[in-house]
Structure 1
Amino acid sequence: MFLTPAERIADYQARGWWEEIGVDALLRQAVAERGATLALVDPLNRKTLDGCAPERLSWNELDARVDAMAAALIALGLERDDVICAQLPNTVDAVILFLAVARLGLIISPIVMQYREHELGHILSLTDARAFVTVPTFHGHDYAAMAAALIAERPGMMLLTMGAAPHGADLRALAASADPASVAPWCAAHPVAGGEVLTICWTSGTEARPKGVPRDHNHWVLNAKVIVWGTGMQPGDVLLNPFPLVNIASIGGLMLPWLEVRGTMVLHHPFDLSVFLKQIEAEHVTYTIAPPAVLTALLKQPQIAASVDLSSLRAIGSGSAPLTPWLIEGWAETHGIEICNIFGSNEGMALMSSPIDVPDRTERAHYFPRFGAEGVDWDSPVSAVMRTRLVDPETGAIITEPGRPGEMHISGGTVISGYWRSPELNGASFDGEWFRTGDLFEIAGDGALSRFYRFVGRSKEIIVRGGVNISPAEIDELLVSLPGVREAASVGIPDSDLGERIAVAVVVDDGITPPDVAAVGAHLAAAGVAVFKRPERLVVLSALPRNAMNKVVRADLRAAVLAALES
């Protein structure tokens, strides 16, 4: 399936941004070069995740497992461009499925484990998925039963489980018995082009439901090179991946770079600091990613980090919340480990302030190189494959002077061509090849600082909790039916650990007892809403701030909520 215009594919090939190869080509190159060396390592605690013993696979073993999985998908009757939705924990099974889909030219739509019926029903309908792959159970929740109920409403969709379950077919067993000899003829008859869609990931914005972000093989192959270039990864690196394969942070930040450097990827799930540190020591990890809150906690509690050997670790990527010079200096001085400041998005943002480009650690904490900005030169190859500009949200004028906030627009080889089946949203979010990110930056200053951007805030209303985008409109829509509440709205409030947490403001009639946070959470749980979207604070207001069009003004609401919480 091609969604990127043919002329853009040709243009980016001519520029040398896109090689017009599929992700499977990266895997095959790694297998040919690395063969019997260790490629993939399961979480230490996999037994507690799905009852299976942890696995350690060489590149050759991984390739054979990918062929077996691909053979099973062929035997099930799946065809080119069919969409497979997958809700899986971070184990070798998830990686094998992803790579098998890439080998066959199918499309995978990975879904976070926290999503429930509310989000899943929307995604399954919007993708017209042919198959839904999940685990029988996870953390006490019956995923197979939940999926079976959803699929019962969608004739023609298959339920496949990684392991035996009362519902669906056991995909792991099917792969074990499939004929891998069927794969080579299939691939020869159906060569995969770089411009074909590989993934549909999901993100939230101001819209009321998750929106699909389709990315081509070309996007992912270039993305791998961008991250390797920007972070200074080296051939054979051991990468610790603490996040499920559901978005750009994990797929783009670690999995595809792993194929590019042909090293070892160590999986981790769910995030557990003690297990995380043990894996760094045991597997001699050289690079990983971690949120600022975790890095801050380790500096403030040095006895934790001192209990393990971190000497193999060369660098850590971090983002999703502002970094501080104290944090970057602390890790360099205490542990000899450099922190890379990364600002990314599923749509293709790729700003990186790394030790390579920004050796000054104070600048690295506060600023990002103006990669691809007109008239600004950087030696980094990242700067050559993307373009950036700041645009005044009110006038549309291009901003060239420092200290004036503007919306970041991006274009280039890492940027998607549009959202999945969302023409109206695309009209509002794209200006030709330029994507309107909704993020506000400014040129950092005059002189040497004019080469940098500084993040200011967001022009859109999204809540970013722990690096995950949450739509306040989606929550508000579900609060309408909250018993005893005349009106309600949600907003993000600052949090030192997660960046933001969700607060809800409610208005009730006189004499009515307002609900508490637990009641709101139970109401959303009953609607099948993911746990991370449930509010953690609640305030009662006499009225919600609205504009002349009767729309809630989030900035004023946030101020009112913070004032109520402080009183």
Structure 2
Amino acid sequence: MTWQQLDEHAKSIAAVLYSSGIRQDDTVAVQIPNSIALTATYLALWRLGAVATPMPVSYRRHELSGIVRACDAVAVITTGRLGDRAMAAEALDPTTEHDRLHTVFAFGPDVPSGAVEIEPATVPRDDLVAASTYASGLHLTINDRVTICWTSGTEAAPKGVPRCHADWLAVGQGVQDGLGTTEESVLVNPFPLVNMAGFAAALLPWLIGGGHLVHHHPLDIAVYLGQIQQHRATHTTMPPAILTMLLQNDDLRGKFDLSSLQRVGAGGAPLPPPVVEAWQNDHGVEVINFFGSNEGVCLLGAPGDIPDPTVRAQHLPNYAAPDRSWVVRLSRSTEVRLVDPLTGVVVDTIGGRGELRLKGPTVFGGYLEGTAAASPFDEDGFLCSGDVFELCGDHGEYLRFVDRIKEIIIRGGMNIAPAEIEGLLQDHPAVSEVAIVGVPDDVLGEKCCAVVVPSAGATPTLDDLTAHLRARDIASFKLPERIELVDTLPRNAVGKLLRRHIRTDLLESK
């Protein structure tokens, strides 16, 4: 689509939504795969002043119902069918459970009875005029909420992360400074367009810089590389494992012409310096080191700030470094500090380690009411990231990621809260105790392993556990992919589960 065609497409979708009662400040759940339809749906909702709460298509009734309840959504927008799943029919079920949820919209085909079909080509002109008149009369500000994304931490339930126009503009401009997209750029987006990864690395740079956005979903390496070749992509994002795999696999890489690539964003796991160096020196592709979260951590190692690829691979800019200016404009409005999580003392010595804390325009204002047990901010108003960094460089100009304080598992860019899975497995008759931990995976980064203390006389299998979870309509990416049976689970003196001991003592030793 051209920009004008996309604008008309979004206006038609907005007309369908408006005619069925969607108004300013309404929250609408969106569960659509990466596509023109998804992009246009976001634009349509924002045109009406409504709030989008994006959900991965892998979410099922368990997650959908919880999110709808938490954010008081009035509608769901999805597809009639995706593969073997009747998405719209699944979304219709929660309408009987939530008083505010009144409409399920669906793109065809296979839109079931009871859902409102979105068919932009057949929208009556009167509906288009009515929606346009309504939109033109709205009073909108940069502080109006536009999204509620979801992130899983150590709590069992996901936490809502509200964002306004100003938040996303700040994130987008910061990333745009690093990526440097223009009207001539072509971006291929392989990440689900539901949270920081997809919004920051693809949607926002495209909207701000112009150019051509190509969606990819779900990840299929051959299709993905084919899109880069076909569309002569200049920018994309890749998990570090994929960057490494492609560099090592000459046969696969040689099947596709990737010569158009200029810059690739990567994050979510440490970047090997030799890999970043080889992409830049041997293939002319600059790798940008991204570090972000839905809550607002937004640091990026851009080539203009860290020219040496081996340094850029493992370091991020420390915006608090004295007498240092940075290409990324966010550096001038973002405060950064490392704090010892035990003592609360600010770390200011080279080689010192502490929790990364930030304050600035990309940081959100707080979790959606009722979705988080505690505030993520310290007494000075800094966001506590839960991530440990080391102060590096000759003058403390760099930060190096060390480890996560949080216990979440990150599988292919998707966050999994162990407590959520453990809670669902705890009532399995063959399970006495269970701990969900992440184990390394070459492609996805991490996978879930269920460490189980069996009930007396029972021998649960992986199939038993996954069947139990599937019966509760949980997303497939959260399912355990390995099981280990043990006699006891390690705990500290107050009974808290020692996950690190499980990973080191029970798993890495095998």
Deviation of 1:401 after TM superposition, in Å, equals 1.1
CA distance in 2 between partners of 1:429 and 1:175 (Å): 47
Q: Paired residue for 1:551?
A: 496
Amino acid aligned to 1:558? R
The structure-2 alpha-carbon separation of the partners of 1:194 and 1:125, relative to structure 1 and needing over 3 Å to count, comes to: same
Asked if residue 402 in structure 1 is aligned to residue 347 in structure 2, the reply is no
Q: Paired residue for 1:263?
A: 211
CA distance in 2 between partners of 1:268 and 1:463 (Å): 23
Asked if residue 513 in structure 1 is aligned to residue 452 in structure 2, the reply is no
Q: Paired residue for 1:457?
A: 403
Asked if residue 180 in structure 1 is aligned to residue 128 in structure 2, the reply is yes
The structure-2 alpha-carbon separation of the partners of 1:117 and 1:376, relative to structure 1 and needing over 3 Å to count, comes to: farther
User: Deviation digits for residues 441-492 of structure 1, max 9, x if unmatched?
Assistant: 11025x25x2100101011211122222211111111121122221111111
User: Which of 379, 404, 417 in structure 2 is aligned with 1:471?
Assistant: 417
Q: Paired residue for 1:76?
A: 20
Asked if residue 378 in structure 1 is aligned to residue 325 in structure 2, the reply is yes
The structure-2 alpha-carbon separation of the partners of 1:451 and 1:428, relative to structure 1 and needing over 3 Å to count, comes to: closer
User: Which of 322, 341, 353 in structure 2 is aligned with 1:393?
Assistant: 341
User: Which of 427, 451, 454 in structure 2 is aligned with 1:481?
Assistant: 427
- Alignment partner of 1:215: what SS? strand
The structure-2 alpha-carbon separation of the partners of 1:188 and 1:62, relative to structure 1 and needing over 3 Å to count, comes to: same
User: Which of 59, 73, 92 in structure 2 is aligned with 1:148?
Assistant: 92
User: Deviation digits for residues 70-96 of structure 1, max 9, x if unmatched?
Assistant: 122221111111011011011111111
User: Which of 10, 14, 17 in structure 2 is aligned with 1:66?
Assistant: 10
The structure-2 alpha-carbon separation of the partners of 1:483 and 1:509, relative to structure 1 and needing over 3 Å to count, comes to: closer
Q: Is the 8 A contact 2:15 2:123 kept in 1?
A: no
Asked if residue 87 in structure 1 is aligned to residue 35 in structure 2, the reply is no
Deviation of 1:333 after TM superposition, in Å, equals 2.9
Asked if residue 326 in structure 1 is aligned to residue 270 in structure 2, the reply is no
Asked if residue 118 in structure 1 is aligned to residue 62 in structure 2, the reply is yes
Amino acid aligned to 2:170? L
Amino acid aligned to 1:459? I
The structure-2 alpha-carbon separation of the partners of 1:431 and 1:93, relative to structure 1 and needing over 3 Å to count, comes to: farther
Amino acid aligned to 2:143? G
Q: Is the 8 A contact 1:144 1:168 kept in 2?
A: no
- RMSD over aligned Cα atoms: 1.8
Deviation of 1:147 after TM superposition, in Å, equals 1.0
Amino acid aligned to 1:327? V
CA distance in 1 between partners of 2:348 and 2:94 (Å): 51
Amino acid aligned to 2:353? P
Structure 2 unmatched ranges of 5 or more: none
Q: Is the 8 A contact 1:419 1:425 kept in 2?
A: no
User: Which of 533, 540, 549 in structure 1 is aligned with 2:478?
Assistant: 533
CA distance in 2 between partners of 1:224 and 1:201 (Å): 16
Deviation of 1:432 after TM superposition, in Å, equals 5.1
CA distance in 2 between partners of 1:319 and 1:360 (Å): 17
Q: Paired residue for 2:160?
A: 212
Amino acid aligned to 1:470? I
CA distance in 2 between partners of 1:370 and 1:168 (Å): 53
CA distance in 1 between partners of 2:343 and 2:99 (Å): 49
User: Deviation digits for residues 494-551 of structure 1, max 9, x if unmatched?
Assistant: 33332222111111245x2321222211111112111111112221222111223222
Asked if residue 288 in structure 1 is aligned to residue 288 in structure 2, the reply is no
- Alignment partner of 2:500: what SS? helix
Structure 1 unmatched ranges of 5 or more: 1-56
Q: Paired residue for 1:20?
A: none
Q: Paired residue for 1:133?
A: 77
Q: Paired residue for 1:562?
A: 507
Q: Paired residue for 2:257?
A: 309
Q: Paired residue for 1:504?
A: 450
More helix by share: 1
Deviation of 1:385 after TM superposition, in Å, equals 2.6
- Alignment partner of 2:192: what SS? coil
Amino acid aligned to 1:397? V
Asked if residue 352 in structure 1 is aligned to residue 300 in structure 2, the reply is yes
Amino acid aligned to 2:152? S
CA distance in 2 between partners of 1:61 and 1:141 (Å): 30
Deviation of 1:423 after TM superposition, in Å, equals 7.3
Q: Paired residue for 1:30?
A: none
Amino acid aligned to 2:9? R
Q: Which moved more, 1:273-282 or 1:316-325?
A: 273-282
Amino acid aligned to 2:287? I
Q: Paired residue for 1:369?
A: 317
Number of equivalent positions? 505
CA distance in 2 between partners of 1:423 and 1:339 (Å): 36
Deviation of 1:558 after TM superposition, in Å, equals 2.1
CA distance in 1 between partners of 2:74 and 2:88 (Å): 16
- Alignment partner of 1:74: what SS? helix
CA distance in 2 between partners of 1:147 and 1:551 (Å): 37
